[in-house]
């Protein structure tokens, strides 16, 4: 179409040119939360802002969805592509007002240059796209130039996305459950953790595929599968009379900000004859802080329905407990890195102490994650940490092994790894 035609012509005409590809951060989120017409308004406004920075022989176009593409031929800009990228990125980030609320929309830019990187349109665009993905990976960069080493990375990502799509159909996911215990080692609940057995690669860790699923919309169907599977399992244990347990389920940021999430999960509970009080939703600190107003609204809705809310990976993000006072949460999960870095009398130990004291005053329950050693356990007991989870008590277990543990009905003995 017009842009490609123009690019083909420019490749004949100019000795040097550059392709910049800009992809908006969280545009899907805006569409999901404010609606498509808000999304369209934002895109129109951005088109105008970008147009103001184009010279006579430059060209800007929308490349479907939330991507903008720029063809730069102006020698002044070409000699300072980094600075120009920053200009575009700054234009993007100016506040956008919708319904009297200011939104700051970030964008990441990938850059490819002719003739250094490639000599045809197709490759140049693909390379700019790869560079843009790399920029997205790093929170500090707003732009990135293409390098040939990016090829392998992108191939891996695409492959994972393709494989994930198959995984749901072919039943390659299953759940493990890790006990959460009180000070005496008594099991009071568990966290549901997804596992993926890839037919060729074997076990793929969630940290490798959850972020890829988040990027595509696959996280919605995977998340729903997790919720259904964990609830069915809990209902099964409940029917077998294996105690009143709480099930913690992880929600990734995009899932959590989905408009119809509360209705969806309530329906799943209903089908399994479970009460919302039995479910703890684990949401990361960064997910709520990045979208404060929306997050508070959804959290209030979920809490009013009876769900428990837990802030996951606490301490890795903004870690101001006083700030978090605004969020209606029941518990915080003290991140593994705190527990594992601490030595008695170290800074780590006093940070944990401070968090525990503040949490107590704010009536948050604290769950210590990643407890591995007796030394850590003694310290946490001394601080009267109410709940713990970690290899010291148990690794995540298959449903069968968890059933055995529940039938045994004994406190878990700490066994160092």
Interface of this chain with ligand C2E, residues 240 to 269, rule: CB under 6 A = 250-252
Report the distance separating Cα 116 and Cα 130, nearest Å. 16
Report the distance separating Cα 172 and Cα 394, nearest Å. 24
Confirm or reject binding of residue 313 to Ca ion (CB under 5 A). Answer: yes
Task: Give burial (CB, 10 Å; 0-12/13-18/19+) of 243.
Answer: middle
Confirm or reject binding of residue 172 to ligand C2E (CB under 6 A). Answer: no
Question: For ligand C2E, what does the binding mask look like between residues 123 and 162, x meaning CB under 6 A?
Answer: ----------------------------------------
Contact range with ligand C2E by CB under 6 A, out of 10-18, 39-47, 368-376, 377-385 = 368-376
Closer to Ca ion by CB, 150 or 334: give it.
334
Cβ 158 to Ca ion shortest distance, Å: 27
Cβ 285 to Ca ion shortest distance, Å: 10
Report the distance separating Cα 367 and Cα 310, nearest Å. 9
The answer to whether the beta carbons of residues 105 and 30 sit under 8 Å apart is: yes
Closer to Ca ion by CB, 163 or 312: give it.
312
Confirm or reject binding of residue 312 to Ca ion (CB under 5 A). Answer: yes
Which of 72, 132, 135, 226 contacts ligand C2E by CB under 6 A? 226
User: 392 is written with which tokens?
Assistant: 């010291």
Confirm or reject binding of residue 210 to ligand C2E (CB under 6 A). Answer: yes
Report the distance separating Cα 368 and Cα 390, nearest Å. 8
Contact range with Ca ion by CB under 5 A, out of 81-89, 310-318, 375-383, 407-415 = 310-318
**Which H or E run includes 251?**
strand 246-251
Report the distance separating Cα 412 and Cα 414, nearest Å. 6
Rounded-to-5 percentages of helix, strand, coil across the chain = 50, 20, 30
Which of 179, 276, 370, 386 contacts ligand C2E by CB under 6 A? 370
Contact range with Ca ion by CB under 5 A, out of 7-15, 113-121, 307-315, 400-408 = 307-315
In three-state secondary structure terms, 22 is: strand
Confirm or reject binding of residue 194 to ligand C2E (CB under 6 A). Answer: yes
In three-state secondary structure terms, 23 is: strand
Report the distance separating Cα 86 and Cα 75, nearest Å. 17
Interface of this chain with ligand C2E, residues 332 to 361, rule: CB under 6 A = 336
Confirm or reject binding of residue 180 to ligand C2E (CB under 6 A). Answer: no
341 binds, among ligand C2E, Ca ion, none (CB under 5 to 8 A by kind): none
Confirm or reject binding of residue 391 to ligand C2E (CB under 6 A). Answer: yes
Give the end-to-end CA distance of the chain in Å, rounded to a whole number: 61
Which of 106, 185, 206, 262 contacts ligand C2E by CB under 6 A? 206
Report the distance separating Cα 45 and Cα 188, nearest Å. 52
User: 390 is written with which tokens?
Assistant: 């970690």
Which of 73, 127, 142, 250 contacts Ca ion by CB under 5 A? 250
Report the distance separating Cα 246 and Cα 261, nearest Å. 20
Question: For Ca ion, what does the binding mask look like between residues 271 and 290, x meaning CB under 5 A?
Answer: -----------x--------
- For Cα atoms 306, 192, 342, give the angle at the middle one, nearest 5 degrees: 100
To which residue do tokens 């005053």 refer? 361
Chain position whose Cβ is nearest to Ca ion: 282
Binding residues for ligand C2E, rule: CB under 6 A, are 178, 193-194, 205-207, 210, 223, 226, 250-252, 282, 312-313, 336, 370-372, 389-391, 396
Binding residues for Ca ion, rule: CB under 5 A, are 250, 282, 312-313
């Amino acid at each position: 179409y017009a842009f490609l035609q123009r690019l083909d012509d420019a490749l004949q005409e100019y000795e040097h040119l550059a392709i910049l590809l800009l992809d908006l951060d969280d545009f899907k989120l805006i569409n999901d939360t404010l609606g498509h017409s808000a999304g369209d308004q934002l895109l129109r406004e951005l088109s105008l802002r970008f147009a103001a920075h184009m010279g006579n022989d430059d060209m800007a176009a929308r490349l479907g969805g939330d991507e903008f593409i720029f063809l730069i031929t102006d020698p002044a800009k070409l000699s300072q592509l980094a600075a120009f990228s920053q200009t575009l990125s700054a234009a993007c980030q100016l506040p956008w007002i919708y319904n009297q609320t200011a939104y700051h929309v970030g964008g990441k830019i990938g850059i490819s240059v002719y003739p250094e990187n490639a000599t045809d349109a197709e490759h140049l665009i693909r390379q700019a796209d790869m560079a843009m993905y790399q920029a997205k990976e790093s929170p500090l960069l707003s732009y990135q130039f293409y390098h040939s080493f990016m090829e392998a990375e992108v191939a891996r990502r695409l492959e994972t996305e393709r494989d994930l799509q198959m995984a749901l159909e072919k039943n390659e996911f299953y759940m493990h459950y890790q006990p959460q215990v009180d000070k005496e080692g008594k099991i009071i609940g568990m966290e549901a953790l997804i596992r993926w057995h890839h037919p060729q690669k074997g076990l793929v860790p969630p940290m490798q595929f959850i972020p890829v699923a988040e990027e595509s919309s696959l996280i919605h169907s995977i998340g729903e599968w997790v919720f259904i599977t964990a609830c069915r399992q809990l209902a099964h244990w409940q029917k077998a009379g294996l105690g009143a347990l709480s099930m913690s389920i992880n929600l990734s940021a995009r899932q959590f900000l989905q408009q119809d999430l509360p209705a969806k999960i309530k329906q799943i509970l209903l089908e399994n004859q479970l009460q919302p009080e039995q479910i703890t939703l684990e949401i990361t600190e960064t997910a709520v802080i990045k979208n404060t107003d929306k997050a508070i609204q959804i959290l209030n809705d979920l809490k009013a329905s009876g769900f428990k809310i837990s802030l996951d990976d606490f301490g890795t993000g903004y870690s101001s407990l006083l700030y978090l006072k605004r969020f209606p949460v029941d518990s915080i999960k003290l991140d593994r890195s705190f527990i594992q870095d601490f030595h008695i009398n170290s800074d780590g130990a006093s940070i944990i102490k401070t968090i525990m004291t503040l949490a107590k005053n704010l009536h948050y329950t604290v769950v210590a994650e990643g407890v591995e050693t007796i030394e850590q356990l003694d310290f946490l007991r001394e601080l009267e940490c109410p709940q713990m989870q970690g290899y010291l008590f148990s690794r995540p277990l298959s449903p069968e092994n968890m059933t055995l543990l529940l039938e045994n009905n004994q406190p878990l003995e700490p066994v160092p790894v």
